[in-house]
Amino acid sequence: MKKLKIVICTRAKTDDEFQKRPIYESLKKQCSYNSNIDYIVFKDNKDGLSRNYNKELQNPQNANSILLFVHDDVVLEDLFLYEKLINSPYSITGLAGAKTFNKQSQYLAWHIASDKSNYVGEVAHCNKENKIWTTCFGPTNSRAVTLDGLFLSCKVKDLNDKAVEFDNNFNFHFYDISFCLRANKQKITCGVLPIRVIHYGLGDSMLSEEWKISNERFRKEYCK
């Protein structure tokens, strides 16, 4: 059977620190449910997401696998995670995104560079008071042009056949949008499925100075 390998990059420097991250308990449970699920953790990550994700895409041992790139502040609650990703109709599967992308937008985050009528997917969030709510952006089984990078599942062979990988120029911000645009250019399908997770991140790094610098770099490289 196909393997599902979950790939996590974290700032946690030790195993003990990583075990305190939101993803840890659900990660262990997913692996205990199904022997075809495995994971790798890049601890004390200073290389950025793109470089580490590309290492796994280029690893020959993963050539016929599904790789799930997921943030360490995500809890993987879906009991059918493996079945949904293995049987996904899309080469790249996410949770939320948009069917359009306006390259003329001032800010190029997926939810700003698209009209709300073109949003797709859903994600549950946990706020600072530990209250959980689910945002339904739109249809939960749909093609998309862009996907949010908190959760990106990839059929490795489909990407390798078209030489599609992450852009190493983006360590964190815009690594996901640039990846999706590269995939779309090569006719690789992106889409969302209804997969239950809880995201503990609140997206509060947007409009930081680092984010704005990445926004301009992205504009120069992808919005000509």
List of domains in the chain: 4-222 (3.90.550.10)
pLDDT at site 128: 79
71 and 12 in contact (C-beta within 8 Å)? no
pLDDT at site 209: 86
**Three-state SS across the chain?**
CCCEEEEEECCCCCHHHHCCCCHHHHHHHHHHHCCCEEEEEECCCCCCHHHHHHHHHHCHHHCCCEEEEECCCEEECCCCHHHHHHCCCCCEEECEEECCCCCCCCCCCCCCCCCHHHEEEEEEEECCCCCEEEEECCCCCEEECEECCCEEEEEHHHHHHCCCCCCCCCCCCCHHHHHHHHHHHCCCCEEECCCCEEECCCCCCCCCHHHHHHHHHHHHHHCC
Instruction: Give me the residues paired with residue 96 across strands.
Output: 121
pLDDT at site 130: 85
Residue-level pLDDT, tens digit, the chain, 224 residues = 899 999 999 999 999 999 999 999 999 999 999 999 999 999 999 899 999 999 999 999 999 999 999 999 999 999 999 999 999 999 999 999 999 999 999 999 999 999 999 999 999 999 878 899 999 999 999 999 999 999 999 999 999 999 999 999 999 899 999 999 999 999 999 999 999 999 998 666 677 888 999 999 999 999 97
pLDDT at site 205: 67
112 and 174 in contact (C-beta within 8 Å)? no
Distance CA 24, CA 73 (A): 9
Cα 22 off chain centre by: 16
pLDDT at site 203: 64
pLDDT at site 204: 61
pLDDT at site 208: 82
175 and 50 in contact (C-beta within 8 Å)? yes
The pTM for the full model equals 0.96
pLDDT at site 125: 94
